[in-house]
Amino acid sequence: MAIAMARGNLWEVLHVLRIMHKIVTAAITGVGILIFSSACTTSAVTASQESCTFTWSNIDDRDVLTAVSEARTLAKGEKWVPSMHVLRSGVAQVTGVKLDNPQTAITSLGKRVGQSLAPIGQMYPSKGRHGENSFGAAGRYVVYQVARHLVDADFVVECGGKRLGSGHATSWQSGDSGGTAECGVKTGDENRIARMALELAC
């Protein structure tokens, strides 16, 4: 009797093992019920909420000389289309944390520094300052371009009270900016950019 019961228990154990083997085989070959989740899959953090808050630090706001012409001696009223030598170029951009609308970072930075800043993708120097020039008096002149309030800054962004990440933004005051200066004529201490242009070209 004991031997018969032992044999019956053995057959039950073997039956259970066969069923478990089929389940494992199905999971491995992709047949049957999917028992694994994709919990380990990750994706880029994005932020699209209008309520996001940007906290700014390491703000560097300055005027930058971006292009300068050669110096040229002109008669009064003489027309001149200078050829410009680019000293520095750049693009308005946001790097670091991925935002659905990175322009929100530039808008926030503009409010922080009190300037209307160039939109994402705009480049400096612009080609708008390469046109014809004329002067009211004879002299030796230089034409130059400027990126005014060129701003670089770091930020941390939070949406709905949750920190999404950190990044860096670069932009400058919207619109063309530039000027002319005459060689040998003092520009004054307040006009650092014009003085730099004269030092380079005259």
99-142 pLDDT per residue, tens: 989 999 999 999 999 999 999 999 999 876 667 888 889 999 99
Question: H-helix or E-strand containing 24?
Answer: helix 2-29
**CB under 8 Å to 102, separation ≥6 — which residues?**
93, 94, 120
Question: Can you give the pTM of this predicted structure?
Answer: 0.70
Q: How many other CB atoms sit within 10 Å of the CB of residue 14?
A: 10
**Which whole-number Å values give the CA distances from 65 to 20, 78, 86, 177, 198, in the listed order?**
75, 25, 9, 10, 11
pLDDT tops 50 at residue 4: no
The pLDDT, as a whole number, for residue 123 is: 94
Tell me the per-residue pLDDT of 148-171, one tens digit each, with 9 for 90 and over. Answer: 999 999 999 999 889 999 999 999
pLDDT tops 70 at residue 26: no
The pLDDT, as a whole number, for residue 130 is: 63
